[in-house]
Amino acid sequence: MVMGLAGSKGPTVFDAHERVLHAPMAVVGALLERLGADDDPIWPSDRWPKLELDRGGLAVGARGGHGPIRYHVVEYEPGRRVRFRFTSPPGFMGHHEFILERAAEAGPDAVRLRHVLMMTPVDNARLSWPLVWKPLHDALMEDALDRAEGAVTGQTPPLRPWPRYVHVLRRLFRGRIERR
């Protein structure tokens, strides 16, 4: 899906990943509340750079990021939604967010955990997003959703194999992808 972002020129990236979790909204909301905490049950910091936030964690105005991806919290509804606005890499004009929604079609205690990224890449990001960042982002988000699913089932999720291209990118950009 391509749409214009307010005040931007050029195409906007819309990238969404979601998973239906079979647990009450309060349980999944409590997982989201710990995003960026030392005991974060969602973020796959065992395989990716840790998500870190200042100000003690999730709060409007908190700044942080993971690896070279930097952002700050611009909207926050505890246990329901958090939106981050990008501050780097250069050319990432937009935001990403985690959203919880009821998934009634999947059962009475079913919640859809969604991660949505919307941005207009400008300058070098018009090439770096599709060639470098998107494949890495997709692998990271699937790992995060696996972790969330494992947290509600109480089972350790199996490690999802990454596409070969993701392994190549991680080798090529070792140090740059991981650094803060």
pLDDT at 54 over 90: yes
Domains in the chain: ranges and CATH: 13-172 (3.30.530.20)
Model-level pTM?
0.90
pLDDT at 180 over 90: no
- Across-strand partners of 99? 81, 114
> Once rounded to an integer, what is the mean pLDDT over residues 161-166?
96
Share above pLDDT 70 across residues of the chain, in percent, rounded to a whole number:
91
pLDDT at 69 over 70: yes
Query: DSSP labels for 11-74?
Result: --EEEEEEEEE-S-HHHHHHHHHTTTSTT-SSS-TTTSPPPEESTTSSSTT-EEEETTEEEEEE
Residue 2's pLDDT band, with cuts at 50, 70 and 90, is very low
pLDDT at 73 over 90: yes
Residue 6's pLDDT band, with cuts at 50, 70 and 90, is very low
pLDDT at 118 over 70: yes
What does the pLDDT read at residue 178?
56
Residue bearing the bigger pLDDT, 163 or 106: 163
> Once rounded to an integer, what is the mean pLDDT over residues 157-177?
88
Burial class (CB in 10 A: 0-12, 13-18, 19+), 14: middle
